Structure 1
Amino acid sequence: MQARPVLVYDGDCRFCTTTVTFLERLLRPDCSITPWQFADLASLGSTQRRAEYEALWITPTGTVYGGAQAVAQLLLRAGKGWAVLGVLLTLPPLRWAAHGVYRIVANNRDRLPGGTAACALPADRR
């Protein structure tokens, strides 16, 4: 079991890498951050298929949050005013809206600034 939460993201996607680097500098969260390509996903309690689909937040006890809820957990861990935003993202109807926005961004990350063809999800994963 790890001592701190782990944020897992797609290290092959330049959009994802740039976003995570920006959030790390801005929020300074108390967590480990690693691309799924270098993570032991099985020991973290997840799969490559899920990690390809969405960012993951994995707690020291093994709870796995994905997508917008992973972002919410990151904000909660960052503390200060960010934690308030994190709490809001866990509550309906903002939770539902956050999920929709996350899916739109994730499904189109290859078209966003910094995105490349390597960022595209296969059609069956969108």
Structure 2
Amino acid sequence: MPTQPVLVFDGDCGFCTTSVRFAEQRIRPRCEVVPWQFADLQTLGVTQERAEHEVLWVTPAGTVHGGAQAVAKVLLSAGRGWSLVGALLMLPPARWAAHGVYRLVANNRHRMPGGTAACALPNHRTQGP
């Protein structure tokens, strides 16, 4: 297992890559950042199916947070004012709203600036709860 948290994202998605690079430069989370395509998913305790579906935050203890909660963990790790925003995103009702916004963006990331056809989730991934 890693000694620091790991942020796992879709390296084939231009929107995701741009978002992560922005976070690295402006927010400066305290973690390792790796595209799922180059991550040892088995060691991280993550399936490829889940990594394709959402951004993931994996703690050194092996706890996996996905989607909006992963974003909240990124913000919490950065300290300064970002940690306050991250803490708010962990609490209802902000957590519920963050989840809805995250799913909306994730399901439409191929339509976002920098997005390409490679960003689209497979059809069986965009349907459901």
Q: TM-score, normalised by structure 1?
A: 0.99
* CA deviation vs aligned residue, 1:6-31 (integer Å, no higher than 9, x gap): 00000000100001001110011111
* CA deviation vs aligned residue, 1:9-66 (integer Å, no higher than 9, x gap): 0000010000100111001111100000000101001100000000000000000000
CA RMSD of aligned residues (A): 0.5
Instruction: Give the match for residue 63 of structure 1.
Output: 63
List aligned pairs for 1:54-93, cutoff 5 A. Answer: 54-93=54-93
Runs of 5+ in structure 2 lacking a partner?
none
Q: Which amino acid aligns with 2:81?
A: G
Instruction: Give the match for residue 28 of structure 1.
Output: 28
Three-state SS of the structure 2 residue aligned to 1:81 is helix
* CA deviation vs aligned residue, 1:79-111 (integer Å, no higher than 9, x gap): 011000000000011000000000000000000
Instruction: Give the match for residue 117 of structure 2.
Output: 117
Three-state SS of the structure 1 residue aligned to 2:118 is helix
Q: CA deviation at 1:123?
A: 1.2
Identity %: 68
Aligned partners of 1:22 and 1:84: how far apart in 2? 19
Instruction: Give the match for residue 46 of structure 2.
Output: 46
Instruction: Give the match for residue 2 of structure 2.
Output: 2
